[in-house]
């Protein structure tokens, strides 16, 4: 990310430094096209507060999240959720990517893998994703591969998200949630850092900031 893209541009709702021209805030979802509400809220005007569309969006996100949790728990064997722990081999899988190719985890042996489970409706995922993109650009030449496993969303929704946030990572489609269940995913996002021998070195539930992403990547890339 170039320094000129962010300098002096701040979200009026949450004071997060903006990027990619400052149209959207990846932290709170503020949109410059509805700037009046955000600017008024930033100056303490109680008549505005959080826009109604954002309240509806957060309610929908909560509903979808609860639905996902129930779907995973009600699947056969879902009550005894599988767990992938650090020090264990990463379970192998093959998924179709957004571009139509097939990606098999075991084919990446010899590289370090950051395996991230996410969805476009998940605010912490939106907050974290730019850091994953930055990690791929910075550490890719050293052998890092970032794989973004999407939880059963349509290609249209995924492409819209990628375009909006400038993400160019390979996105894998877990349409039947098989890999999501295989890895015991409940909170989103969840990330696994897998070393060059295919062993899980760390697992992080919830969004990571830039420093956490980079420190975990450096650790998994170390000899």
CATH assignment of the domain containing 173 = 3.40.30.10
118 plus 176 within the same structural domain = yes
- Measured between alpha carbons, how far is 152 from 174 in angstroms, rounded to an integer? 6
pLDDT at 30: 61
- Measured between alpha carbons, how far is 4 from 6 in angstroms, rounded to an integer? 6
Across residues 152-158, what is the average pLDDT?
Answer: 95
For 79, residues 6+ apart whose C-beta sits below 8 A from its C-beta are 73
pLDDT at 52: 56
- Checking if the pLDDT of 148 tops 60, the result is yes
Task: Look over the chain and give the mean of its residue pLDDT values, rounded to a whole number.
Answer: 81
Residue ranges making up the domain that contains 21: 3-50
Report yes or no on 115 lying in a domain: yes
What digits encode the pLDDT tens for the residues 176-197?
A: 999 999 999 999 999 999 999 9
102 plus 11 within the same structural domain = no
Token pair for 191: 């990330």
Across residues 20-47, what is the average pLDDT?
Answer: 52
pLDDT at 91: 97
Across residues 149-169, what is the average pLDDT?
Answer: 96
Residue listed under structure tokens 């070195």: 201
* Domains contained in the chain, number: 2
pTM, two decimals, is 0.67
- Checking if the pLDDT of 49 tops 90, the result is no
Across residues 155-167, what is the average pLDDT?
Answer: 96
46 plus 67 within the same structural domain = no
Q: Is 125 or 36 the better-scoring residue by pLDDT?
A: 125
- Checking if the pLDDT of 39 tops 50, the result is no
- Measured between alpha carbons, how far is 126 from 91 in angstroms, rounded to an integer? 26
């Amino acid at each position: 990310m170039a320094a000129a893209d962010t300098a002096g541009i701040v979200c009026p709702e949450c004071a997060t430094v903006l990027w990619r021209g400052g149209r959207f805030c990846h932290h709170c979802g503020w949109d410059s096209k509805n700037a009046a509400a955000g600017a008024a809220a930033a100056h303490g005007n109680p008549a505005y507060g959080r826009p109604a569309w954002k309240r509806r969006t957060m309610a929908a996100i909560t509903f979808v999240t609860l639905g996902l949790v129930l779907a995973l728990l009600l699947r056969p064997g879902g009550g005894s959720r599988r767990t992938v722990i650090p020090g264990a081999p990463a379970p192998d899988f093959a998924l179709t990517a957004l571009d139509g190719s097939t990606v098999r985890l075991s084919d990446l042996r010899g590289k370090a893998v950051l395996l991230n489970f996410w969805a476009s409706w998940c605010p912490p995922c939106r907050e974290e994703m730019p850091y994953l993109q930055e990690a791929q650009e910075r550490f890719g030449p050293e052998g890092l591969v970032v794989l973004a496993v999407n939880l059963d969303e349509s290609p249209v929704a995924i492409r819209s998200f990628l375009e909006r946030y400038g993400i160019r990572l390979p996105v894998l489609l877990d349409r039947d949630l098989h890999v999501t269940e295989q890895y015991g995913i409940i909170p989103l996002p969840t990330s696994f850092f897998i070393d060059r021998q295919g062993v899980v070195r760390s697992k992080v539930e919830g969004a990571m900031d830039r420093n956490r992403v980079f420190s975990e990547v450096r650790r998994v890339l170390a000899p």
